[in-house]
Amino acid sequence: MGRALINALEERGMSVPGEMSILTYGLWSEAEKANPPLTTIELPMRLIGRAIPELVQRRLANPDSAPVSMQLETRLREGGSVAMLKPQ
């Protein structure tokens, strides 16, 4: 999605990160292939993938149960798609 967004912005004459900053989330291995590489909040996708089936099964077994909240460790991977703020 991030690469598609960069392409769409460039087709409209906008530059990344010059005029628009883009921050994505997901896998860094995909984000680093973009030009410029996308600044990404890297998520533990394998852990999420393992947790989802269990959470769905729990909800199906007891639809009225309280929602589950999970905290996952993430990592900011800096690419070249976010501009630095200039002090005013």
pTM attached to this predicted model: 0.74
Burial class (CB in 10 A: 0-12, 13-18, 19+), 65: exposed
**pLDDT for 18-55, tens place per residue?**
999 999 998 888 888 888 999 999 999 999 999 999 99
User: Is residue 17 within 8 Å of 82, Cβ to Cβ?
Assistant: yes
User: Is residue 24 within 8 Å of 3, Cβ to Cβ?
Assistant: no
Residue 68: CB atoms within 10 A of its CB come to: 10
Residue that the structure tokens 């994505």 belong to: 24
Percent of the chain past pLDDT 70, that is, above it, reads 99
Q: Which of 6, 40, 37, 47 is nearest to 26 (CA)?
A: 40
Helix/strand/coil for 62: coil
For residue 9, pLDDT over 90 is answered with: yes
